[in-house]
Amino acid sequence: MLTIFYAVLFYVATLTFVGGLALRIYQYATTPAPLKIPTTPGPTTRTGVVFRMFREVAFFESLFKSNKWIWVFSALFHAGLLLVVLRHLRYFTQPVWFWVELIQPIGIYAGFAMLIGLIGLFIRRIVVAMVRYISSPSDYLMLLLLIFIGISGAMMKFVSPVDVVAVKQFFLGLMVFDWKPLPSDFPLLVHLSLVALLMIIFPFSKLLHAPGIFFSPTRYQVDNPREKRHIVAWAADLEK
């Protein structure tokens, strides 16, 4: 029963996540940007834009200019999350890829980094009056969701270990529609439920900042309006 529930849950979550995100990306990609609005000074070539975007995505360049505290906490969180997610690839690969094997030990520290970052961001949201003013319930809940995902995950590692081999069997099975029993440890069920929830709300929430950044005209556009005429279809229609 439990296994069926979680199996269905993860199918639904994955479909929503992938489908929803694909739809958003399609929407972002196909919505025209009629005017050149890169924030200047900006790159004057495509290659330059690739570098700008890389610095933005990898190092949070703009955020670094803005506020060192937010930068530290979100860098900890995002870098931590990235490593943790990569570490979790071992649940979906057999044999486990070499480099995934390699980062296993780092992944544990990354989990803590992620939690520290999240808790820092949460405290900031409460303590800093300006940020408190702009926060909706969903902004707190989103952080709490991630925090509880982290805590439930850490509990399985340090407090009450679960049968990770069985968990892996479950996920490997899911991928080939061959359902294997899922252990019923409480932290595991909490962890998996919250992750599924996160996947489901991803395409409907501010988590869209992840694909969004790549479609942000102030960052992806090349600063060359004088050299190359930029015109989109609906604007060209006005000229007829």
Partner 1 sequence: MTEETKTINHDEYLDPLKMAELVPGCMSELHSFEAKPEHQEKLGYPGGLVDDWHDKAIDKMGDLVSKYKGLRVFLDSCVKCGACADKCHYGMGTGDPKNMPVARQDLFRSVYRRYFTTAGKYLPKLVGARDLTEDVLDEWYNYFHQCSQCRRCSVYCPYGIDTAEISMAAREILDTVGKGQKYCNEIIGKVHELGNNLGLPDKALRATLEDFEEDLEEETGLEIKLPLDVKGADILLVTPSADFFAEPHIDGLLGYAKVFHEAGATWTLSTTASEAANFGMFIGSYENMRKVSLRIRKAAEELGVKRIIFGECGHAWRVAYSFLNTLAGPFDFLDRRYPVPQHICEYTWDLIERDIIKFDKSKNDEYRLTFHDSCNVARASRMGDKPGGQFDIPRNILKAACNHYFDMEEDTIKEATVCCGGGGGLLTDDLMDLRKKGASPRMKALSNVRKEHGVTHMAAICAICKSQFAKVMPGYDFEIDSILSVHQMVSNAIILTGAIDPVEDDDDDEIPAAAPDAAATT
Judged by the rule CB under 8 A, the positions of this chain that interact with partner 1 are 24, 27-28, 31-37, 39-44, 56, 60, 62-63, 65-67, 70, 74, 121, 124, 128-131, 133-139, 141, 201, 204-209, 212-213, 215-219, 223, 225-227, 229-231, 234-235, 238
Tokens of residue 212, six digits: 């969004």
Closest CB to partner 1 among residues 31, 95:
31
Closest CB to partner 1 among residues 19, 32:
32
- Minimum CB distance to partner 1, residue 48 (Å): 8
Q: Which amino acid does the sequence have at 224?
A: N
Closest CB to partner 1 among residues 2, 210:
210
- Minimum CB distance to partner 1, residue 86 (Å): 22
- Minimum CB distance to partner 1, residue 219 (Å): 4
- Minimum CB distance to partner 1, residue 223 (Å): 6
Closest CB to partner 1 among residues 8, 210:
210
- Minimum CB distance to partner 1, residue 140 (Å): 10
Q: What is the 3-state secondary structure (H, E, C) of the chain?
A: CHHHHHHHHHHHHHHHHHHHHHHHHHHHHHCCCCCCCCCCCCCCCHHHHHHHHHHHHHHCHHHHHHCHHHHHHHHHHHHHHHHHHHHHHHHCCCCCCHHHHHCHHHHHHHHHHHHHHHHHHHHHHHHCHHHHHHCCHHHHHHHHHHHHHHHHHHHHHHCCCCCHHHHHHHHHHHHCCCCCCCCCCHHHHHHHHHHHHHHHHHHHCHHHHHHHHHHCHHHHCCCCCCCCCCCCHHHHHHCC
- Minimum CB distance to partner 1, residue 34 (Å): 6
Closest CB to partner 1 among residues 154, 213:
213
Closest CB to partner 1 among residues 89, 145:
145
